[in-house]
Structure 1
Amino acid sequence: MNPIPFWKMSGSGNDFIIIDNRAGVVETVEVPRFVAMTCRRRMSVGADGLILIEPSRRVDFQWRFFNADGSVAEMCGNGARCAARFAHLNGIAPADMAFETLAGVITARVRGDQVRVGMSDPRDIVIQETIDLPDGRITLSHLNTGVPHAVIEVPDADAVDLGALGSAVRYHSRFAPAGTNVNLIAPVGEGPWAIRTYERGVEGETLACGTGVSAAALVLALRHDHPSPVTLATRGGSLLKVHFQRTGQDFSDVALEGDARVIYEGRLWPEGWRY
């Protein structure tokens, strides 16, 4: 296979490899293995995920989104912002666009390096449930914002071993068989709440997670009556803003706003995924 053109992009520190696959340049390889090999840091390009941009018959394009381990995810808020800006810069879609995901059709608006994407209406919202872990009981909230998320309020996010706690919650029987992403949120003085996220598929902490920020914002709205928009400070230092309409316990018109930056363009040689 010839080298494959790609872009490396970052959404608030969540980094992605994005490939224009409208001509099927990736179809001749086993895609999950290709993704897992290409997302290896130091051995290949390295990324939190890989996005294929493909044709759609009803909206501007469709994507296929893969976690770093090659597994498929229904939705990724930071990835969606990067995909939208990629499509706009490459003439695939106008600045106001719509594209297909496994979580449904997503709308997006690109303004420079700032992108606002419509998110799926949340479902399966459970506020403050207690579960048993090997190290004791813990109380958390959980919901689906395109993918499943658990949200845990703590006094100090930096004081928690997120790797251990995230793995224990991610694989807990309560969330079987698919598992869940895990978010810690903590108040920081008068500023935005801080958030740290353990992502399934990456199986570790990432610098930001758009669907996780969305889940955390909605939990803050329900638990602390926080009005729209809610801003959270990600581990990567960026601020992500979540807009929504709320009626009692129900939400609609959820949108995620933040940066989507182009890091570089390149050509991926077969040596990048065959070894």
Structure 2
Amino acid sequence: MSKLELKGIHHTFSGKKQRVPVLSDVTLHVKEGEFVSIIGPSGSGKSTLFHIIGGLLTPSGGEVWLDGVSVTGTKGLISYMPQQSSLFPWRSIEANVALSQEVAGVSRSAALDKAREWLPKVGLGGYEHELPHVLSGGMQQRVSFLRALLSPQEVMCLDEPFGSLDALTRQAMQSWLLNIWEQNKRSILFVTHSIEEAIFLSDRIYVLSNKPAQVIEEFIVPFERQRHEKVMMDPKFHELRQHIQSLLRQEILS
């Protein structure tokens, strides 16, 4: 059984003068412990899809299923990591990490204990009482990911979490994310604009069309776990990247 399943999702935004179709019959799934990426042209509705999964938007059509139950329009069932770290500047690092647990009903003391346990594991030991502005962009994203990881929801939706980082930091964060994920194997749905990032991280990749978005192809990534950066030198990696790039180019030019 899939952990998360989207069945025929349609969505249209209604403005004062026109209706704008954004999603058209999007069907996809994420199995338990699976890392799945979505990639598509800019403006193709990827973030809208996450808002629907998280219950912030009710789709114009279709259903969201979680653990075999229809949960369309229900909030609080996934953990979410946005494009920016979205840390509260007045809260300490440990308090930012603890926030998702507190919202879920865990006592503040227990949530802080869990944050203190985990921060050294992600290379942030010694920063527990600092404020976010002290940290680099990559370190702030670690805090944001850890906050999502420690929330009780089993499905994590990551919305271009490394898009604002420089190339070297981004590559380091990709390896870091894989290392942490392989220790926990949460179910992850990951949005990215980077084809290389999607292939390196994922078990499967869905490629979306231009708006109104629909799935135009699904790829199974042919590399075993645990995965290391040397996989990027594999000819199969380049073949898959070129295939996906060709699909996206056709969508952009169409």
Q: Provide TM-score, normalisation by structure 1.
A: 0.25
Q: Which structure carries more relative contact order (alpha carbon 8 Å, separation 6+)?
A: 2
Which structure has greater helix proportion? Answer: 2
Which structure has greater strand proportion? Answer: 1
Q: Provide TM-score, normalisation by structure 2.
A: 0.26
